[in-house]
Amino acid sequence: MIKLSGVSKTYRQKGNLATAVNDVSLHVKHQEVFGIVGYSGAGKSTLLRCINLLERPTTGSVVVDGTDLTKLSKRELNLTRRKIGMIFQHFHLLSSATVAENVAFPLRLARTPAAETKRRVAEMLDLVGLTGYEGKYPSQLSGGQKQRVAIARALAAKPSILLCDEATSALDPETTQSILALLKDINRQLGLTIVMVTHQMEVVREICDRVAVMADGEIVESGSVIDVLLTPSHEVSRRLFQAHGKTDPTASTTQKDGTHILEVTCTGALVHEPVLAEVAQETACTFSILRGTVDTIKSVPYGQLTLAWHGTPQAVRRSIGLLSERGYAITNDLTETNRPAEVTASC
Ligand SMILES: Nc1ncnc2c1ncn2[C@@H]1O[C@H](COP(=O)(O)OP(=O)(O)OP(=O)(O)O)[C@@H](O)[C@H]1O
């Protein structure tokens, strides 16, 4: 659907060259929701803008539905861009135009007949839950409503791709959830492919199928959200997706010699099963939870725990084997000499 190959974008700044995107290759599949994450300045927005050629790559190709956009004439590019809608953090609505006029804007540009424009605007406002708001101006709307108008406008010309640049970053948590629910519905109902740049990890957990992590203009890791979030292989992904739970300092002060610190993850129904307690009982071990997160990724529950597992070395080994057999992933067996700083400090 979207295939970037060897895409780089370099800017000239005061005589020096600055590389915002460096040799990125990426494949976004039809109808998936693809996230691009990374710290500020990593090159996320520039990469996203390369997809519709708002930024023309310095090198590389951008193929959308089999067409290399970098090879098109200006006129052909304008026509092809209608397949790609875009929404932004600060909505970019026309402040002097009504809601209906904002949504109609891309249709006017495409010289759509008036009756068809009217019908399409009504359809789009119904889709985003803003029927009845046609005559209002952007200044009369909340942030969430403005983003809904922006989504309606972006979808008015029936694109097959929606690019979202920090679309929920200016919104409060509740409004963020409602916009994410709307994007999820649109992805399902209209079969739209969505590419989202975000620094909000909850956005990735909530809506994305796959994710790419960027640092210094490059993609340092990509894969399914479950894999990247639960077993990140790059330091930047680890920092971005680290469990938000805090180590309980009082729990670790009572640890005895020979305690193993285990980092474990589980997904799906396993989260609700008493596997840890059963394995501890079967192996005559005990355990305490030093840190934990239980959350969902696209409605699939997952657990990420740091455990202090107490028992004889043989019993601990057997416990690890049984936990693996029963579906737990042991992401780290942090022995006495290899504990994270925060745990060591409190032991
Ligand atoms: N038009 C431009 N001219 C010069 N440098 C630019 C331009 N656009 C972006 N850059 C630089 O490219 C780098 C990547 O910027 P970009 O906005 O893509 O990062 P980002 O990951 O989206 O960051 P943020 O999350 O803060 O928006 C930055 O160092 C930025 O200063």
Average pLDDT over residues 96-106: 96
Residue 322 φ then ψ, to 5°: -65, -40
Q: Does residue 34 have a pLDDT over 70? A: yes
Mean pLDDT over all residues of the chain?
A: 89
The arithmetic mean of pLDDT across residues 118-126, rounded, is 96
Handedness of CA 190, 191, 195, 196 (dihedral sign): positive
Look at residues 181, 170, 205, 177 and name the one whose alpha carbon lies nearest to residue 304.
205
For residue 243, the model assigns a pLDDT of: 54
Query: What are the tens digits of pLDDT across the range 300-347?
Result: 899 989 899 999 889 988 999 999 999 998 876 655 444 444 333 332
Ligand 1 in reach of 40 Cβ (< 6 A): yes
Mutate to test the pocket of ligand 1, among 7, 45, 48, 89 (most ligand atoms within 8 A of CB): 45
The sign one gets for the Cα dihedral 331, 337, 340, 346 is: positive
pLDDT band at 259 (very low <50, low <70, confident <90, very high): confident
Which of residues 262 and 2 earns the better pLDDT score? 2
Ligand 1: residue of 8, 9, 11 to mutate (most ligand atoms within 8 A of CB) is: 11
pLDDT of residue 256: 55
Q: Atom 14 of ligand 1 has which residue's CA nearest to it?
A: 43
Q: What's the pLDDT score for residue 155?
A: 95
In the chain, % of residues over pLDDT 70:
91
| Ligand 1 contact via 258 beta carbon (within 6 Å) | no
Q: Give the atom of ligand 1 at the shortest distance from the alpha carbon of 45.
A: 22
**pLDDT for 250 beyond 60:** no
Residue 18 CB less than 6 A away from ligand 1: yes
SS (H, E, C) the chain: CEEEEEEEEEEEECCEEEEEEEEEEEEECCCCEEEEEECCCCCHHHHHHHHCCCCCCCEEEEEECCEEHHHCCHHHHHHHHCCEEEEECCCCCCCCCCHHHHHHHHHHHCCCCHHHHHHHHHHHHHHCCCCCCCCCCHHHCCHHHHHHHHHHHHHCCCCCEEEEECCCCCCCHHHHHHHHHHHHHHHHHHCCEEEEECCCHHHHHHHCCEEEEEECCEEEEEEEHHHHHHCCCCHHHHHHHCCCCCCCHHHHCCCCCCCEEEEEEEEHHHHHCCHHHHHHHHCCCEEEEEEEEEEEECCEEEEEEEEEEECCHHHHHHHHHHHHHCCCEEEEEECCCCCCHHHHHHC
The pLDDT, as a whole number, for residue 191 is: 93
Which of 21-35, 95-109, 218-232, 252-266 is least confident?
A: 252-266
- Contacts with 280 (C-beta within 8 Å, 6 or more apart), sequence order: 286, 287, 309, 319
Count of CB atoms situated within 10 Å of the CB of 59:
14
Question: What pTM, to 2 d.p., does this model score?
Answer: 0.84
pLDDT higher for 64 or 259?
64
Ligand 1 atom closest to 217 (CA): 14
Instruction: Please state the rounded mean pLDDT for residues 139-167.
Output: 96
Give me the pLDDT at residue 331, please: 76
In this prediction, residue 13 carries a pLDDT of: 82
More confident call, 136 vs 244 = 136
- HSE-CB at 275 with a 13 A cutoff on CA atoms is 23
d(C-alpha 268, C-alpha 32), whole Å: 21
Structure tokens at 259: 């305690």
pLDDT class of 157 with cuts at 50, 70, 90: very high
**What is the pLDDT at residue 336?**
46
Residue nearest to atom 31 of ligand 1 (CA): 41
Rounded distance, CA 226 to CA 211, Å? 9
Whether the CB-CB separation of 60 and 69 falls below 8 Å is answered with no
CA of 165 to the centre of ligand 1 (A): 13
How confident is the model at residue 126, as a pLDDT?
96
* Amino acid 333: pLDDT: 61
- pLDDT recorded at residue 257: 65
Closest to 4 in 3D by CA, of 18, 23, 32: 23
